[in-house]
């Protein structure tokens, strides 16, 4: 029979698919990870409420809730974790430490104060760079050659707390947010498994961030996907298309309708005026601000399925 009297109890806060590997690591569902053995116990999961999705507004559970139910872990859901109701319920669990990964709410000081060892966060950038809601997208869009994960302690300011450890990784030239996110999720889970026991044992001293070097990135919206070849270079736009895959996507307007740009590639120099639509070897292209063309290899017109650029162009009489 498992002896729970000396176990470290963990409350896990997470919502998106990015957080699932970290939860699995805490549960020992991965060989050699922190949850294995009889030292740590996940006493519950806190996640965002179920949300309506799609045309029929079907209620959908978060990825973390689905994982928690699979392992039989109690699930708590609050519209606002800062509410009195949330605080009352969270305090009854009496966890020793909280682990946070892609939770989606700001955590107030009175919740932070519930845990003997504080709240340990798995963050998807190399802090202090890219604090905030969209660090993976920002790293790709800005042309960074590397990014990584940081294990840190949460304080009352966003992504401001001291660092326990970090792990860099290369951003490949073809990476999108869709491909890079799961790699960082796995790295974060592995680093969490290495870091948490040493932190609990006092073997890791938290290191203050260099706040003067901090950059903050915002929560994205659909309008952030608008491509403006008249003011941006071809390389900037190509990176933005990859960065905004899958959300919020990228688009241009053609004859008053949005044309989604799903994939593109940088072409050579062009004499066409910046912002002009033209053709290159039967493919749609945009003349960018640096006098370089951007070929649209996959697009999606409003209300239609995705098309290869050449197929789209055959039916686009007003392209150029």
Closest CA to 100 of 77, 79, 73, 118: 118
- Taking all residues of the chain, what is their mean pLDDT, rounded to a whole number? 94
**Domain architecture of the chain: domains with CATH:** 8-217 (3.40.50.170), 222-314 (3.10.25.10)
Angle at Cα 54 formed by Cα 48 and Cα 59, nearest 5°? 40
User: What span, in angstroms and rounded, lies between the C-alpha atoms of 101 and 151?
Assistant: 10
Mean pLDDT of 84-95: 94
User: What span, in angstroms and rounded, lies between the C-alpha atoms of 317 and 152?
Assistant: 54
Kindly state the tokens that stand for 90. Answer: 């969270």
Q: What is the pLDDT of residue 273?
A: 97
- Taking the alpha carbons of 22, 14, 153, 74 in that order, is the dihedral positive or negative? negative
At residue 29 the predicted structure's pLDDT band, cuts being 50, 70 and 90, is: low
Mean pLDDT of 43-51: 94
Q: What is the pLDDT of residue 180?
A: 98
**Pairing mode of beta strands 58-60, 51-53:** antiparallel
Percent of the chain with pLDDT over 90: 88
Dump pLDDT digits (tens) for 247-279: 999 999 998 999 999 999 999 999 999 999 999
Angle at Cα 270 formed by Cα 264 and Cα 271, nearest 5°? 145
At residue 2 the predicted structure's pLDDT band, cuts being 50, 70 and 90, is: very low
Q: Name the phi and psi angles at 294, rounded to 5.
A: -120, 115
Q: What is the pLDDT of residue 139?
A: 98
Q: What is the pLDDT of residue 67?
A: 96
Q: What is the pLDDT of residue 243?
A: 98
Dump pLDDT digits (tens) for 99-130: 999 999 999 999 999 999 999 999 999 999 99
Residue 137, pLDDT above cutoff 50? yes
Mean pLDDT of 2-16: 82
CA distances to 120, 129, 147, 175, 296 from 172, rounded to whole Å, are 28, 19, 10, 5, 20
Q: Name the phi and psi angles at 245, rounded to 5.
A: -100, 115
* Widest distance between CA atoms in the chain: 76
User: What span, in angstroms and rounded, lies between the C-alpha atoms of 128 and 168?
Assistant: 13
Dump pLDDT digits (tens) for 163-208: 999 999 999 999 999 999 999 999 999 999 999 999 999 999 999 9
Q: What is the pLDDT of residue 317?
A: 82
Residue 37, pLDDT above cutoff 90? no
Per the model's pLDDT, the better-predicted residue between 320 and 314 turns out to be 314
Closest CA to 29 of 16, 42, 18: 42
Kindly state the tokens that stand for 235. Answer: 């390389």
Q: What is the pLDDT of residue 260?
A: 98
Q: Is the pTM of this model over 0.85?
A: yes
Q: What is the pLDDT of residue 33?
A: 72
Judged by average pLDDT, the poorest of 27-41, 79-93, 145-159 is 27-41
Residue 296, pLDDT above cutoff 80? yes
């Amino acid at each position: 029979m498992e002896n729970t009297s000396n176990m470290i109890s963990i409350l896990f806060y997470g919502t998106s698919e990015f957080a699932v590997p970290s939860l699995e690591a805490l549960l020992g569902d991965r060989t050699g990870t922190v949850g294995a053995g009889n030292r740590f116990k996940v006493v519950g999961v806190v996640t965002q409420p179920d949300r309506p999705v799609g045309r029929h507004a079907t209620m959908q559970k978060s990825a973390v809730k689905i994982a928690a139910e699979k392992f039989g872990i109690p699930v708590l859901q609050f519209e606002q974790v800062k509410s009195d109701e949330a605080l009352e319920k969270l305090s009854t669990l009496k966890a020793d430490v909280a682990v946070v990964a892609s939770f989606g709410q700001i955590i107030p000081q009175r919740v932070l104060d519930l845990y003997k060892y504080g709240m340990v966060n798995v963050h998807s950038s190399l802090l202090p760079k890219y604090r905030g809601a969209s660090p993976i997208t920002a790293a790709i869009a800005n042309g960074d050659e590397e990014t990584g994960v940081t294990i840190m302690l949460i304080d009352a300011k966003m992504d401001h707390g001291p660092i326990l450890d970090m792990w860099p990784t290369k951003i490949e030239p073809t990476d999108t947010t869709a491909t890079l996110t799961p790699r960082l999720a796995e790295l974060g889970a592995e680093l969490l498994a290495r870091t948490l026991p040493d932190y609990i044992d006092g073997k890791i001293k938290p290191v203050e961030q260099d706040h003067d070097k901090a950059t903050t990135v915002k929560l994205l919206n659909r309008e952030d996907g608008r491509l403006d070849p008249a003011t941006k270079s071809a390389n900037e736009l190509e990176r933005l298309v990859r960065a905004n895959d899958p959300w919020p996507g990228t688009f241009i307007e053609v004859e008053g309708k949005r044309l989604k740009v799903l994939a593109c590639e940088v072409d050579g120099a062009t004499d066409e005026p910046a912002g002009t639509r033209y053709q290159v070897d039967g493919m749609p292209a945009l003349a960018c601000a640096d006098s370089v063309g951007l070929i649209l290899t996959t697009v999606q017109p409003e209300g239609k399925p995705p098309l290869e650029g050449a197929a789209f162009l055959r039916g686009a009489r007003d392209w150029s």
